[in-house]
Structures are given as C-alpha cells and as structure tokens.
Structure 1
Amino acid sequence: MNSPIWKVAAVVGVSLALGGAAGYWLAQSRRGEVPVVAVGQEALAEPKALYWYDPMYPQQKFDKPGKSPFMDMQLVPRYAEGPGENAAVRIDPSLTQNLGLRLATVTRGVLASSVDAVGVLAFNEREVAVIQPRTAGFVERVYARAPGDQLKANATLADILVPEWAAAQEEFLALKASGDAALLAAARQRLRLSGMPTALIAQVERSGKVQPNLTLTSPIGGVLQELNVRQGMTLAAGETLARVNGLSSVWLAVAVAESQAGSLVSGQVAEARLPAFPGEVFAGKVDAILPEANADSRTLRVRVELPNPQGRLRPGMSAQVSLKRSTQQPLLWVPSEAVIRTGRRALVMLAEEGGRYRPVEVQPGPDNAGQTAIFKGLEEGQQVVASGQFLLDSEASLKGIVAASLAAPAAVLHEAEGQILAIDSQEVTLAHGPFKSLGMPAMTMTFPLANPGLMQGLKVGDKVRVALSQSGNELRVQRLDKTGSQP
C-alpha cells in the first residue's frame, strides 16, 4: 500500500537532484567556469582579428578594439581569411545576378578611332600666283576681267608698253645684222636683264621687228583674287597687278575639340561629305595641325587637303568630316563603363575565381565606340565588372581594401623592429614596433615568409629587424635580420 507513495517520492527526489545539478551547472557556466555548448552543435572558435580599423578611414590600423579617433563609432575588426582574400570582396556567385553584376572580358585589338567634326573649305594658300611687271611701263589695254573670275592657265590680263625695250631691241637687231656673235650674246643678255621674257626675245630675233609691248598672262588656272590695273596707268617695276589662286586642290579647315586632338596626327585619312554633293565622299589627308587653339571654343584647327581635279569644291562650302586613324600595335580594351575614375587615378574591379572581386589601378588610354584602351594594369583574358562596380568599390572601401598604385616601385620594403614569438618555414609571429611607412601601429601579428630560408639561425625570443613587401593588402616578410636575443 505504500509502494505507490514510495515510487512518487523516488521520482520527485530524482527530479530534484537533476534540477539541482542543472542549476549548479548553469550557475557555473554563467561564471565562466563551464563552457556552454548547444546540443547537437560543435563549439565554434572565434576567428582571430588581425587588427581593427575605422571603415571611414581604412588605411589606419589599430592593435586593439575601441572607439575610433576619427569618427563617433567603434573600430571594426579585420579577421584572417584564406590566402589572398584580405584584398578582395567576396560575393556569393548565386547572388551576382540579383546584384546586377555584369562581367566583361579584357580583349586585345587595334585602335581604329574616328573623330567627327565640321569643316569649311578654303583656298589652298600654296597655289598662289602673283603677277608683277619687271620693268616700268604704261598700261595700253586691260582685258575684260574682274576679281572672282575663274581663269584658265595663260589667260590674258593686260597689254603693257615698255619704252625702254624698244631701244634695247633695236640695238640687238643691229648687232645681229653685223654678225658679231660675241656682241650679239651680250645684247641678248641685256634684254633678259631688263625683264624681257625669253619668249619675247625669241620672237624679236625670229621676226626682226621691235616688240615693245608685253601681254601679262596668268601662269596658273584658278580664281582671280585681285586685279589692280587700269588702262592708261603708269606702272613701276615690281608693282603687284594681279593675284590668282589655284583650285586644283583646296584646304578644309576643321575645328576639333581639344579633348579629341590628342588622337590626331599629320597624314591620317580624312573623309568629307558635303551637302552640295549628297552620297559622295571626298577623301583627303590631314596636312597640318595648327599650333594655336581657339580660346573661346576650346578647339584646335586641323587643315585637311582635298584634291579638286574637276573644280567642283568651292571655298566657303561646309562639310561633315571624319578623321580616321588606326594603330599598328594592338591594345587592351575594356568597356568604358567599367573604368572608375576617381580624379587622381582610374580603377577597375577585377573578377577572380570563387566570387572574389578586387580593385586594380589601371592606366587608361583613348576611348573609342564605348571602349577604353588600357595601357597598364590588366592582361588579356581577365574579367572586369562592367555593371555594379561602384557597389563593389564601396564595399572594398568599407573593408579597407586599397588598390596598389601603378606608380609604386615594386622593390619598396617597409621596415620595423620586433621580437619573434613563433616561427616555422611558412610564417613568423612577431611582436613588432610601428611600420611608419605603412601607417601600422605596434602590435602582434603573423606574416608569411617569402622563402623558408629566412628562418635559418632564428628562434623564439630573438630580436629582429623585419622588412615587409606589400602586394595589394598582403604583407610578406622579405628580410629577417637578427639584432639580439632575449636573455
């Protein structure tokens, strides 16, 4: 009859005993004497922080947590990750599409640039003929010409009477009749020095008659620009009577934006399209890039020479001009949208295996058709982020990831004093002083060794001078010199 009561008492006693034991265990765990481990889970060791930093000023590193001296916020720890991951942002590959990330491959190709501009036709100033008399005389006749007329070669302009030639020609004819060859040659030379054309001297010698009149003609075909002669005028030697500009070729004055002028060179191909001749393309070449820029429009003036065998191209006509150029040496190309320009330098986000992205400084070249040439910083076949790169760049800045400078010498070493706490063939743990050139304060940190031979002759407790090299955010021991040891 007492057995049920005894069983109940026994159960209550066991429950009280278990409850007391659990309470004791919980109390001890709260005091830190017994670790709390969730049932069915393993204890996870907290990763060791390499250093702490302020996300708004990531280049400054601290050896312990606390409040940032720059901003009203707590310092953030930087933990050791896999090899090379400290200098990269990791994104789960399954999330790249949700984040709008789009990749582009670095390709190699020639630069085939085309600069489009507007130009105006003008006379070729190299095709100019100036008509002047070589001796004084009188204008007897002016032919029906006016400025603006288009002339053919040898077109007549005016007849000039030169009295001095009459006496010289009579003397020449008299010496010719005497048969004295030496005197005749001297007389012929005097006629030539008086400004008489060779053709007129031959005519006098052939006809035996005095020819005191000279007919002025245009030596080239073109447009009569000036005509400063009237019938009855008295002319002085060397006076300019007419000016003719040829039309066998014309100049095309092109205004090119200052930002595009760097891709222009003399001799490159130019194509002109004129509203007067729809569907036709007139090919020429860049004759000169004039040295002075227009301060108001910030443009450079480029001179293109166009052949004009049919004379259809007239000065004053406007044209749409395409200046084409291609390089012989292939260049690396990325989409222009992939280049992040900060003002001081240009960056791209380089995509690596495992969903990692890291900023890389590049040296950009000219732009062409939505592509930007890269002179330095990338290799053919690499992939860069063409869309969403600003999101990754912001995340890299928050993590303190800084792209290595292209201008930084590869052989620069950062030195400090320290003491060895642990060392093997792969890495060394040091309690080191500040690396001033890195902005890193004194702390205890583990660094990989550049080669296993650096550990030879060294042991725990030795005082050393350490020299680090930096590649991205990765620091590696390049030199470890013993300076003393612990007593």
Structure 2
Amino acid sequence: MKNRKNIVIILATLLIGGLVGWLLKPSDVTEASPQHDHEAMEENEIWTCSMHPQIRQEEPGDCPICGMDLIPVSEESASGDPSVYRMSENALKLANVRTMIVGSGNAQKEVRLNGKVVVDERNTYTQATHIPGRIEQLRVNFTGESVSRGQTLATVYSPQLVTAQEELLQAQEIKESQPELFEAAKQKLRNWKIGENQIQQILSSGQANQRFPITADVSGIVSEKIADQGDYLEQGMPVYEISNLEEVWVVFDLYESELGWIEEGSTVEYTIRSIPGETFTGEIEFIDPLLDSSTRVAMARVEVDNENGRLKPGMFASGVVKNQVGEETSAEIVVPKSAVLWTGERSLVYIKSDLENGAGFKLQEVTLGPSLGDSYVIENGLQEGDEIVVNGTFTVDAAVQLAGKPSMMNPDINQEVLNETFKLPEEARNEAAAVIENYLLLKDALVNDDFEAAKEAAISLGRKVANIDLDRFSGEVRNTMEQFKKQLQNRNKAVAAAGDISGMRSNFDELSEVMINFVSTFPPVNQKLFVQHCPMADNDRGADWLSLSREIRNPYYGEAMLTCGEVSKEIN
C-alpha cells in the first residue's frame, strides 16, 4: 500500500514537470527566426578598420595592419571607390582641413607693378657754352632752380672772343675797301652765338667786351649743375641740364613673366606713395623692346601731364594692370594655389566627398592654365560644383600616402590591383624570396638586440629590393611591383640610416606594413608566413611584423618584452 502511494506521487510529479516544460517551451517558428536573421546579417556584413579603411573582410577580427578590432560598415561604404581615403570628423578638425566648392566665372589676371616718376627725356636739354673760356660768374648756383628762356645763366671771360672783337674793330676801319674782310669778322662772332645787337654795341662803342653772358636756350628746371665757377670750358661743353617738368613719365618695371600680359595700349591704375588716397589712370605708351641684361626687366612708360607740378621725379609708384583671361563671355574655373600640389610633372588636387561619419578624399590630376597671382585657372580636371581641399592639402596627402592609396608621390597606384593577389613568374620568385629572407634576417637581428647584424641585414635588404627586375613583369602587375619596390626602398632606407637599434625599431613598423602588403599581393610559394601584432609598440598605437614561426618573438622590444604580441593573420 505504501509502495503504491509512492508510485502515484512520482507519476504526478513527472506529469506536472512535463506540463510546465511544455508551457515554457518556445515555438519552432520563434526559435528558427532569430537564427535565420542572424545568419543573414553576418552573411551581408563587411568589416573594416577605422584607421585603415582599405581593409575589407567578410568576418570580424583584428586589423592586420594595426591590430585594432574591425568594425562593421554599410554595404554602400564597402562598395565605394577603393582609391578614396576616408577621414573621420575628428581627424578633419585636427588636421585643420578646409574645403571650397568650385565655381566658374570671368577670370582676371592682375599684374602688379612697381615704378617711379622720371623726367621726360624728350623735354631734357643740355645747356652748353658757345664761347670758349673761363666761367667768371654763375648766376644759377643750385639744381632745382627755375629758369626762363633768354635768362643769363653765367658770364664767361674768353681771350679768343676778345681777339675776335678787336679784329672786328680793325676790319670796320677798312670796310670800304675790303667789305669781305669786315663781313668775315662779324660772321666769326655770329658762330659763337653773338647776336646782331651785341655786335652793333661793340662797333658803336669801339671797345671789346671782356665778358660775355651764357643765356638759357629753353625754360625749365635745372636738374643738374655740371660746371662750377672758375672752370675753363671749350666751346660746346655742358654747363647745366635743364628739364621741363610740365610732362613727366611714370616708368614701371616689367619682369619676363609679366611681358605676356602687358602690351602697349594697356590701361594701368596706379598710386603715388607721396599722394595717398588718390588713384591715377594712364595708358602704357611704350615698352622697351630689349630686356636689361643685368636686372632682366623691361621698362613700361606712361606719359603724364604734370602742368600743376604735383608729380616730382623720383616719387615711387605702384600700379595694377587687369587682364581678362579668355573671352569676355567665357567662364573659367579658378582655384587657390594652396589647393594645388605640383610634382614637377603633374598638378594634383584632392576632391572631397561626404561619407557617413566623415569625409572621403580622392586624388585628381588637373591641367593648370594661367597663374592669377594667388590662384590658378584650371583648364581641365575639375567641374563646377566639385568640392576640393584648399587648406591642409599636404596633411591629407601624407595620410593618403601612408594608407597606400594614390597620392602626390605615387599618383599611379591602382588600389584595385594592390588588393588582388598575383602568382609570381618562375624567374621572379627567387628575387621575391630573397627580399623576404633578408627582411626576416633584419627582424631576427632586432629580436636579438643585435644592432650590427640589423644594420647589415638592412643594407642587404636594400640591395635585394634593388635587384627586382621590373622587366620581368607587364601591365598592371608591373605597375604594382614598381610601387612596392619604391615603397620598400624608401622604408628600408630609413631603417638602414638609423644610428642605433632604437631608431631602427621606430622605422621598422612602416617597413613591415609595406612587406605585409607585398607578401599579401604576391604570396610566397610553398611558404607560410604569420602576421604578428604588438599592441604596445609605436607608443601604444600598435605595430605588426612578419614571422616564419607562430611563436612570438617581438622585434620592437627584443629581450625586454620578447613574447609580447599575438598572431593576427596567416599568409599561405
């Protein structure tokens, strides 16, 4: 009886437990649905690195370059142009990157000129003496003095003139019998610019004058005093230089690069430094046909009416000549010079595109037109509405170059090709294997804290990279190998040039980054390599290296932290 009671209790307990389990059990549809959605989500997601957006993987993990956790990106970002470099909003602010939207309009070239006011050479007269002799008195003693035509400038004592006067008086006595001799004596005085009135005075007085005046032939300002009192002058020697300043020239310097923009008839607006607040307008009347061999400039001349005497020779002038670029109805694209990167062979700009949580930048080659001072006309390569970088251009380019994307120094990188893998031709395998082998020797020397061995390995690595024969390749494979060769040489040069092992380690991370991309693009044959990562290297930013062994041997710290790191990727 007691056993039967126990059996009933057990059966009741099982029945109640089963009923509770059935009530709590989820339906089949509810159980399968989240499983299905999760699989679909994982199947569609692409994972990337926030610091190295060129990394694209179909599963989560660590970035093979910096070791950071990969983050999911949208399908739109994953399928974007691989040559576009992405920068976050914070990175844009730190780099002080500014952009502008390209527009079009009438472009004007402003040529700024410097010059000065000078005397009109056509109105400059050299006052000479017509009488040989000694200057007894100067009536005009300083430059800048105003003189009038016919004014006495100086008096001259001339023994020759005294003798000529005495001959005239003697010829007067026999003029009836020898009129030709009398006429010849008068003509001799006329040749010395002695007027008829003075000759008649000599004849009427019957005495020779000891001193004769030198009179001004023109009116103007004495711009130079050439002779001094007491000087003995021959006939025709200069005494003064007299200038008429009612008309002056403003002469501007034209450099070779400006000659193509200025021609005779061009209008120039200019200011005079000593007459502030007033702008003058003139027309260029003449341009020197020859350049000055020493200064490499030509002179452009503007003729100015200076009747009021405001402009004085020697005053400095600043002028502007405005020229229309192209037709008056045409519209040109003009960008600041700060936006253009010039390599010597090509001109480049960065075009910005808006992305989620940041911006994308892509290199664009442009054809430059005329220089407009602080800007350029763009003849080809940009369209109205493009947004370009105008400040921080070199900062953006440096980040793009480190990311391995097309940049100023490597504009021909084909990122799609770099993301592919290639099988090396048979004859090129040994060259690539030698590069990998010497890199691993360098890595082992850093692991062992052996500076001399590391130095030797870096030098040897440089030679092995130089031995890569690009003629073995063709098409895009050649271009890709050429870019890797340049990057390996540049990165290894910095390692080999270091003065101590610490300096070598600080440059080894960039060399390793290129090597990892190299072996990922051209995988070694019958060889497995491990990408290993140390999160503490490079001032806690993390750094990678390649190794033949899965065992961690850290080249960035050597014996100090030999086993710091982990395997992040395998390359077969």
TM-score for the superposition, normalised by structure 1: 0.52
Against the structure 1 CA distance between its residues 236 and 149, is the aligned structure 2 distance closer, same or farther, given a 3 Å change threshold?
same
Say whether 1:88 aligns with 2:88.
no
Q: Distance in 2 between matches of 1:228 and 1:349?
A: 69
* CA RMSD across the alignment: 6.6
**Residue 321 (structure 1) aligns with:** 318
**Residue 566 (structure 2) aligns with:** none
Against the structure 1 CA distance between its residues 42 and 277, is the aligned structure 2 distance closer, same or farther, given a 3 Å change threshold?
closer
**1:240 pairs with 238, 241, 266, which one?**
238
Deviation of the 1:373 alpha carbon: 1.6
Task: Report percent identity of matched pairs.
Answer: 9
User: In the alignment, residue 107 of structure 1 is paired with which amino acid?
Assistant: S
Say whether 1:148 aligns with 2:144.
yes
Cα displacement string for residues 216-270 of structure 1 (whole angstroms, at most 9, x for unaligned residues): 333443322205254x8753234332222332444557799x9x98998575524
**1:104 pairs with 101, 106, 111, which one?**
101
Against the structure 1 CA distance between its residues 48 and 114, is the aligned structure 2 distance closer, same or farther, given a 3 Å change threshold?
same
Cα displacement string for residues 58-107 of structure 1 (whole angstroms, at most 9, x for unaligned residues): 9xxxxxx9976xxx879999x998887122246899xx99x996542232
User: In the alignment, residue 246 of structure 1 is paired with which amino acid?
Assistant: N
Q: Which deviates more from structure 2 when the two are superposed, residues 321-330 or residues 164-173?
A: 164-173
- When you count helix as a share of all residues, which structure comes out higher? 2
Q: Is the 8 A contact 1:55 1:400 kept in 2?
A: no
User: In the alignment, residue 437 of structure 1 is paired with which amino acid?
Assistant: E
Deviation of the 1:385 alpha carbon: 3.0
Aligned length: 384
Say whether 1:129 aligns with 2:137.
no
* Matches for 1:268-347 after TM superposition, within 5 Å: 269-273=268-272, 275=274, 279=278, 281=280, 283=282, 285=284, 305=302, 307-313=304-310, 315=312, 318=315, 321-329=318-326, 332-336=332-336, 339=339, 347=348
TM-score for the superposition, normalised by structure 2: 0.46
**Residue 350 (structure 1) aligns with:** 351
* Matches for 1:201-216 after TM superposition, within 5 Å: 216=214
Deviation of the 1:307 alpha carbon: 1.9
SS in 2 for 1:228: coil
Against the structure 1 CA distance between its residues 165 and 139, is the aligned structure 2 distance closer, same or farther, given a 3 Å change threshold?
farther
Which structure 1 residue ranges, 5 or more long, are not aligned?
Answer: 20-35, 59-64, 295-299, 409-413, 421-429, 446-487
- When you count strand as a share of all residues, which structure comes out higher? 1
Q: Distance in 2 between matches of 1:206 and 1:444?
A: 113
Q: Is the 8 A contact 1:104 1:386 kept in 2?
A: no
Q: Is the 8 A contact 2:152 2:214 kept in 1?
A: yes
Deviation of the 1:310 alpha carbon: 0.9
**Residue 375 (structure 2) aligns with:** 372
**Residue 196 (structure 1) aligns with:** 191
SS in 1 for 2:126: strand
Q: Is the 8 A contact 1:254 1:302 kept in 2?
A: yes
SS in 2 for 1:381: coil
Q: Distance in 1 between matches of 2:47 and 2:521?
A: 12
Against the structure 1 CA distance between its residues 252 and 141, is the aligned structure 2 distance closer, same or farther, given a 3 Å change threshold?
same
Say whether 1:384 aligns with 2:387.
yes
SS in 1 for 2:82: helix
User: In the alignment, residue 378 of structure 1 is paired with which amino acid?
Assistant: G
